[in-house]
Amino acid sequence: MLRVGTGAAARRIAYLREPGRRAERAGVLWLCGFKSEMTSTKASALAAWARRRGIGCLRFDYSGHGRSEGAFEEGTIGRWREEAQAVFCRLSRGPQVLVGSSMGGYLALLLLRDLLASAPRQARRIAGLVLIAPAWNMTELLWRGLPARARRQIAEAGVYQRPSRYGDGPYPITRALIADGRRHLLGRPFDPGRPVHILHGCEDPDVPFAHTRALLARLQGNRTHLHAVEGGDHRLSRPEDIAQLLAVVLRLAAR
């Protein structure tokens, strides 16, 4: 457990860390998606793969997720980004590849952008990013997809229970989540300064493929690569999807 925050905002964040045996390769930090966990299919496959290759692997649950403390309804983009930064800065060592799925991809981008501005020495440890269907500016993407009655319910009652197509819902979408998200948008374009690989399923029903294409215009420096996955859905958890993910991570970890 890692303690993050102070006073009433203090919470304990659960993590799993396996040290690497090969110093010439970067470690891997996994960032989960919205309401996902560090023991999910892709995270577990990544950890097992890293263990076999002697690559360090660090994964964690956001507050309100998995084994970490806190209520899911208390979660916000700013709160989860703070936890991601604490895990990266306090628990990882040396070069790291950030691997983020859906909301985790968004948080990986926010973490890199914010460290470039506030802690460049820490930012230099980020060797590259691998983003799986990155839900950048996720709260605005959610808001635009909600029917008018759901928006009214959020405004008046403070929360809307959004159904899930994956059998793990409903997802509480709170007024605080939407409001805080507007303070953490990827606004002006920026140069990540290192390779960014994006894997996106062509049949993704949750994050439109066009949303990722719009992200390409925000990431300057000509080091961003988009991998369109034929027949892939949002989760990209098929064996062939995971194999492609691991191949991309290996190229960055071996640099």
Per the listing, tokens 């110093």 go with 23
Each residue's pLDDT tens digit, 45-98:
999 999 999 999 999 999 999 999 999 999 999 999 999 999 999 999 999 999
Look up the pTM and report it.
Answer: 0.95
By CB atoms closer than 10 A (0-12, 13-18, 19+), residue 229 is: buried
Given pLDDT bands bounded at 50, 70 and 90, which one contains residue 132? Answer: very high
Q: What percent of the chain has pLDDT over 90?
A: 92
Task: Decide if pLDDT at 187 tops 80.
Answer: yes
All domains of the chain in start order, with CATH: 2-138+187-253 (3.40.50.1820)
pLDDT tens for 86-96 read 999 999 999 99
Please list the residues that pair with 30 across neighbouring strands.
59, 99
- Please say whether the beta carbons of 42 and 132 come within 8 A: yes
